[in-house]
Structure 1
Amino acid sequence: MFTAIGVVRVDVFPLGHIGVGYLFLSFVERGWRHHPPQGVALPWLIAGTLLPDLIDKPLAWAGGLLPSGRSLAHSLLFAIPLIVVISGWLWQHRKSAEGIGFSVGYGSHLLTDVVLPLGTPFDRMRFLLWPLYPAPVYESEIPTTLELTESLLLEVPLGFFIVGLWVVDGRPGSKAVHRLGSQVKDWVRSRLG
């Protein structure tokens, strides 16, 4: 949506955060370790990409405990220590791929929330320094049809590119997902008789 100050609001949905996170993870792994992402990193990547919204949105929208759906978990004052603790714990347990996955996922979530409202002025990025600066108050945190259309125009082509990259990377994580699906199916069958 074009506003008076020329900002385009593009809401990033959960699959968009996961996709952009995977894009960054693939670039980091290929640039640093010279190989595509490992499947073991994907659950941690997904957790990292979704955690800021899983913390802030319910506490703001349903509980009223936070001032905005982008405040506590979107603040660098919370995010950096959390990333250091979780990734450090994973590295200590020789799970560096998982630590990289979580770090890249969380960082990419914050980056997409800052970059994708194109032309974002500082007052819309204050959430990165909450509570030092008040969280921005959004007119409506539920997107309009026009905003959904703008988001889809960006996310659908990007999604096709990311799926293509995932295939080129060897579909990391697909065996684990298939195994989990089989286990869930077997469990359901055992319960239903």
Structure 2
Amino acid sequence: MWPWEHVIVGYVAYSLFSHLVYREGPNGAATVAVVFASLLPDLVDKTLSWQFGVFPGGYALAHSVFVAVPVSILVGALAHRYGRTRVGLAFGTGYLLHLPSDVIPDYPRYGRYPVERVLWPLEQAEGEHGQGLISGFFDLFVPFASQLITLDPSPELTFQLGLIGCAFLLWVYDGMPVVRELVVGTHRRVTREGL
């Protein structure tokens, strides 16, 4: 799954949760937490595999359910202790949804769920390693980008673009968290200094 797809899954899930439980959209801190946590497994494992060759594939330590669950619980407990429960819940949502997002979408394409991706150290997913982080990303991204450039998107890409558009509209509906806080904070600072 592409990084922006992980962000979409995490953000949409947390936004819906926030609307159902808190009757409002996510705040900026929760949005940063869900986006960061949605990307965290790939930031760790792809770097350790592709850049440093520590693992034989990009699904290892940070993709492991045996790591993700305790880390999410720990972050949630610390966030609750410091009065930032929503940030902890957002982190857990982003991190824990990353794992099934790397397993479930492969079924239609390959006819199986690659659960070995989330069972490290019991199982190890194979794949490219030691190719360099930037090189590895571009090897995967160039075919995707060429569909956009030639304006000949596959049905899969068309679906992805639709998801991006829907997630963007949800973010706007939520009041554009993060941007909203930056604008409000800047306005307060300018107003204070102007007085």
Measured against the shorter chain, the TM-score band is 0.7 to 0.9
Task: Quickly say closer, same or farther: Cα 1:53–1:181, change in 2 above 3 A.
Answer: farther
Choose which of 109, 115, 119 in structure 1 pairs with 2:104. 115
Task: Quickly say closer, same or farther: Cα 1:83–1:170, change in 2 above 3 A.
Answer: same
Partner residue, 1:22 = 11
Task: Quickly say closer, same or farther: Cα 1:69–1:181, change in 2 above 3 A.
Answer: farther
Partner residue, 2:157 = 152
Q: Percent identity?
A: 28
Query: SS of the residue aligned with 1:114?
Result: coil
Partner residue, 1:171 = 176
Choose which of 116, 124, 133 in structure 2 pairs with 1:126. 116
Cα separation, 2, equivalents of 1:118 and 1:145: 21
Q: TM-score, normalised by structure 1?
A: 0.76
Letter in 2 for 1:95: R
Give the number of aligned pairs.
170
Shift of 1:74: 0.4
Cα separation, 1, equivalents of 2:120 and 2:92: 20
Shift of 1:180: 8.4
Conservation of the 8 A alpha-carbon contact between 1:126 and 1:136: no
RMSD between superposed Cα atoms in Å: 2.7
Gaps in structure 2 of 5+ consecutive residues: 148-152, 188-195
1:104-141 superposed Cα distances (whole Å, 9 cap, x missing partner): 1112222221222243514x221211111222446997
Task: Quickly say closer, same or farther: Cα 1:181–1:82, change in 2 above 3 A.
Answer: farther
Letter in 1 for 2:71: L
Shift of 1:78: 0.9
Letter in 1 for 2:10: G
Query: SS of the residue aligned with 2:32?
Result: helix
Choose which of 35, 40, 46 in structure 2 pairs with 1:51. 40
Cα separation, 2, equivalents of 1:24 and 1:85: 20
Letter in 1 for 2:93: V
Query: SS of the residue aligned with 2:60?
Result: coil
Alignment of 1:45-84 (within 5 A): 45-84=34-73
Partner residue, 2:76 = 87
Partner residue, 1:32 = 21
Task: Quickly say closer, same or farther: Cα 1:30–1:77, change in 2 above 3 A.
Answer: same
Letter in 2 for 1:170: G
Query: SS of the residue aligned with 2:70?
Result: helix
Q: Higher helix proportion, which one?
A: 2
Conservation of the 8 A alpha-carbon contact between 1:125 and 1:136: no
Shift of 1:181: 9.1
Conservation of the 8 A alpha-carbon contact between 1:56 and 1:70: yes
Q: TM-score, normalised by structure 2?
A: 0.76
